[in-house]
Structure 1
């Protein structure tokens, strides 16, 4: 007696979000699909489960793709799912699924509905119509989530994900997958102390590499578990959130996060670190007085290199592509440093230069706005109120966009003013002494470098071969235009 072979079936289960992380939702789907397969006399040969993966978000579904491959090879003759919305969520996916299953006579059964018939044009049209509603439902859900995130960002609320360095979550729960949920954001005191000291150090004229070293000595580590480099430290210091401002798509949206540093101090530090006068090269390479400060006659920055007894400055273009390139400046470090320090000390000690520099520093100080934080907070509050009115339908889209753009422009104008008021405390500290020249000479190299960068433009001139003696005519040292009045 010949035993008839039962049709080979595959079960597919999926859940978009598994909050508990235990796969219970997909387990229930598989159990009901197995029962349906048994009632229809099918032999389940494979079970495919995509847990915690949305079919609409664009992320790959490994198990779904594996099932499609098995359909192509004939391993699977029938697909069993709890509902077609678990299997497909886009009309484009349905078209591909029809092209895959129809030529191979692969059936699709669903627990929560009738058999999906793809054999005729009429039945395929019905299937496509149902998929249109599934896709619309997903799109509406996506729009609601995005609107909720915009509103949360406008209120300065935490949007989820990894907590930024400087804060931590409290009163939280951790699911079985190790994901943290719930709770609120508070300042993480040890990390916040480093952010405060780092911000104040930059404003005081210290270098980014010195701040990075202090963080490393204090045990600060990045996301990889290793000590942070200057790029990571710079990125952390430049976050507007440090000053209590949350950003959403590049715009200031709220200020409900607990601030770590005053907004005025943050803006001064931001102006220094983002100044076009600061070279883009890693600061760890700028250990010497004129590294990243002096310019070659080609316009590129000079960097220091060589053994202590033969140390010199050379144009950064020399290092392009790892090859030595002729036609750029190369100067002995010792004589050039000595000359620049002597000229700077003399300049700062002159009464007319000192008076002009103090006048410029005072102008910056007078133009600072101590109510800047309140101004931005007021505009952000207006923006939040505008969002609430638009959500309630009290204003239309045109009125919303016009008013929103006006507020955005006002915030941008305030930020531009505060950035221009950054100033440089290193220069002011030297000028505030009885002997600015001596104060400059006794300052650490990194502070001397900040003073040079702020006050002078130093550029080397073309010259012949080095003859063993320093020629002052080969270097130009001029006060910057802003300091010339």
Structure 2
């Protein structure tokens, strides 16, 4: 078969530190195994700095699994089974079933496991559960170690707040000689009651880089000011009692024996100043029925769809009052920002959407895009396999075209031996292309009944009955983004002049 001599590698490393097995070493060992067993490595999938235990997105893992389950390659090679997953048989078992169903195989180099051997399945089950248990125990040990260091007032890891550094010998926080003055400026502005966006804009206008090296925004400033470590206090992230997962809430750490707040070194502000700043921030929080609630987020129709089109900004727009406004401008970036009445923009986009879909005809790129997105939602696993085969087929056909150009256009194959080599390469590529086309044809043909979207009355009824989130998902089937330009002060809003809909399937 065309894929039996091909293999993909999957490499993962949650932390790339000295003393750990580096990605490069994993790749070298996996490639050496492939060479010894007569396999050609087609592609390397990497998840760098991604945990195999926590519930996080692993794009490399998903792409590697799609390649072997779709038949693009016959073998998936990992350095060690715990690189594939640390979630036990809950994840490894499902992956193994999918690989077996596709007549592929999984190889773990360091474990000496190859699923082409039936007896390997039991061992893999044991190893996967062992990896899960090790990760669970490791989390417990790390937690105890951090608790010990916190109680001693030593920094336990991570980037310190802007304006502070970690003193290597004592593991205490000290002032950064370069940025401490700017950090104090932020604190003084906040103590004077300045809005977070104005502080961010001031920093950006003076080209003071944020901790990550980019522009500041209101959220970055607020996060800094709320940090206990900004006041020299040991921080602790609160866990959700029900799920056991960390939340976004960070509070001063208290010694488990005395209950006293633990200091971790110098701060930019005092504890009293921190309390004053937090009181100011909380006073701006929306009050309702005696309880604090943050302002609703994501309730506008065009959330995640509307974009600021002023001078190539491209940032998302969010609701501020009754208008969509450039999120960058709201957060203090240098863009002056576009702004438009939300109800006017929503009405215009809704009218265009409800009017255009029923007018679509066969062959329209927008109709194809809508159908494609509808089917993707219905069966994402099938499309992951289809996309993997399609991408590899396109690559193989491109290589075949380049090989033919080299033979007949560029004249790179001359002489009997060269022509014979060309024939071998061409036969191999043709076999690969034919095999991929066969695999693609074997996949179930995705079907979608989008007729309700193309019937004006049914679409209008569905729209009226839908909630905001459901309407937004309908819009995303046909619209990539809605661009809003900045208007002139005092000028009447004309949607056709200031709103541009970028439809799915367009050439952009």
Q: Tell me the TM-score normalized by structure 1.
A: 0.45
Q: Tell me the TM-score normalized by structure 2.
A: 0.43
Larger radius of gyration: 1
